[in-house]
Amino acid sequence: MAGPANRQGRIAADNIAGRESTYSSTQGTGIVKLFDLTAGMTGATERTLTRLGRPFMKVHVHPNGHASYYPGTHAMHLKVMFDPSDGRLLGAQAVGVDGVDKRIDVLSVAIRAGMTIEDLEQLELAYAPPYGSAKDPVNMAGFVGSNLLHGDVALWYAEESPDLPDGVVLLDVRSATEHEQWAIPGSILIPHKELRSRLSEIPPGALVYVYCRSGFRSYLAQRILVQSGWPDAKTLSGGELTFRAVHPDGSAGSVAYPVVTYAEDHLASRRATGV
């Protein structure tokens, strides 16, 4: 007499044998290693979405591959696209030294599962200093994307330059040393820690486009401006790092290998003082 385990095995085998399989889709997940760099992608690219006339929003973030205080990490360049109506993920690309494969795999599964940019905020991903940060790059993309989706932040993009709106004020909120080494042509410098006390230097009602190195300081500055009488102020998506990738021969200064930590403003002040 067959036991319960044998009966369950036969039922499972019958179900498998009688099941119809269908092809769902291919989303183009891939990865390649080029010397010390790794590049990966999944889902639709911006070029594909544009060609198809598909509306989308996009964010660029540059967090570290793993915790900054653990040796050997570098900035990861992560771009995520999503539907502006419901936040559903559409595609992502990443370039970096460490951890690109992990993040692309997470985003590949998220796209296949129909997840949204908001879902990325809540993902609980494995953390230890050699492997990641308490706020993973995927979480960071979710935070920025959710802010954009809900109108809590307004972005401008490197592709818009040099054809910026007439009368726009380009505001650099990095340190004076950083501004001397490289700056977008025509921009004025007000370090973000001085912005509240120097708002009178910005024309009332002007459209202000803010930028910094990776987007953190300019986000803080954009929030200050919106709350202080410049409601249309925008922050550069991905900051200087994205701008220089889009315009590699467009502005003065040499292109340094990007190494950025979570405390961008602290490092900037250390570079300025030589400490």
Do 65 and 169 reside in the same domain of the chain?
no
Do 196 and 227 reside in the same domain of the chain?
yes
Render pLDDT for 40-59 as a digit per residue (tens, 0 to 9).
Answer: 999 999 999 999 999 999 99
Q: Give 235's contacts (C-beta < 8 A, 6+ positions apart).
A: 153, 154, 155, 156, 209, 210, 211, 215, 218, 219, 221, 222
Q: Name the residue range of residue 119's domain.
A: 30-149
Whole-number Å distance between alpha carbons of 92 and 79: 5
Do 187 and 254 reside in the same domain of the chain?
yes
Domain with 63 in it: what CATH number?
Answer: 3.50.50.60
Percent of the chain with pLDDT over 70: 84
In a domain, 17, yes or no: no
Do 71 and 172 reside in the same domain of the chain?
no
Q: List the beta strands (DSSP E) in the chain.
A: 30-34, 37-43, 57-61, 77-82, 89-96, 155-156, 169-172, 188-189, 208-211, 234-236
In a domain, 116, yes or no: yes
Render pLDDT for 77-87 as a digit per residue (tens, 0 to 9).
Answer: 999 999 999 99
- CA dihedral of residues 179, 133, 60, 44 (deg, nearest 10): 160
Q: pTM of the entire structure?
A: 0.82
In the prediction, which pLDDT does 249 show?
72
Render pLDDT for 79-127 as a digit per residue (tens, 0 to 9).
Answer: 999 999 999 999 999 999 999 999 999 999 999 999 999 999 999 999 9
Last residue of a domain, which of 111, 132, 149?
A: 149
Last residue of a domain, which of 127, 149, 171?
A: 149
**CA 43 to chain CA centroid, nearest Å:** 16
Do 145 and 168 reside in the same domain of the chain?
no
52: tokens are 């198809």
Identify whether 162 is preceded by a cis peptide bond (ω within 30 of 0).
Answer: yes
Render pLDDT for 203-215 as a digit per residue (tens, 0 to 9).
Answer: 999 999 999 999 9
Count of the separate structural domains present in the chain? 2
Render pLDDT for 218-240 as a digit per residue (tens, 0 to 9).
Answer: 999 999 999 999 999 999 999 99
142: tokens are 């979710």
